[in-house]
Amino acid sequence: MGQFIPDYLIREQAAVGALVLFAVLRVLAAVAAFSRGWPIALVEKCAIGVAGLYCAPQLFDVLAHPYVVHASSAELEGKVIGSAIALFFSPILSHRLGYE
């Protein structure tokens, strides 16, 4: 009858998705910035802005319906954690590849 996906599975799936998305996006942005001579600080600011926009729909759901939507809060937590981890470790990878 009412089969639900547990919150931890939603959180893990959102975290892995955000981690992969932003890690690849950040490394590709570093490659593009390196080839065009743009400052890497601009890439960092844009990546943080895109991560905020990526988490915005779930943040709106959590703020608009705080007592109704449980899956949205779990998805928001996963997206925030995944994007934070990716934006922390991606510069290390870009530096090791020689693009920073």
> Would residue 10 count as lying in a domain?
no
Q: What is the pLDDT of residue 52?
A: 93
pTM of the predicted structure, to 2 decimals: 0.82
Number of domains into which the chain is organized: 1
Q: Is residue 27 one of the residues assigned to a domain?
A: yes
State which residues form the domain around 38.
19-97
Contacts 24+ apart (CB under 8 A), 9-12: 10/71, 10/74, 10/75, 10/78, 11/74, 11/75, 11/77, 11/78, 11/81, 12/78
Q: What is the pLDDT of residue 74?
A: 87
pLDDT of 2 reads 59
Question: What's residue 5's pLDDT?
Answer: 81
- Give me the residues of the chain with pLDDT under 50, please: none
Q: What is the pLDDT of residue 51?
A: 92
Tell me, what's the pLDDT at 95?
Answer: 77
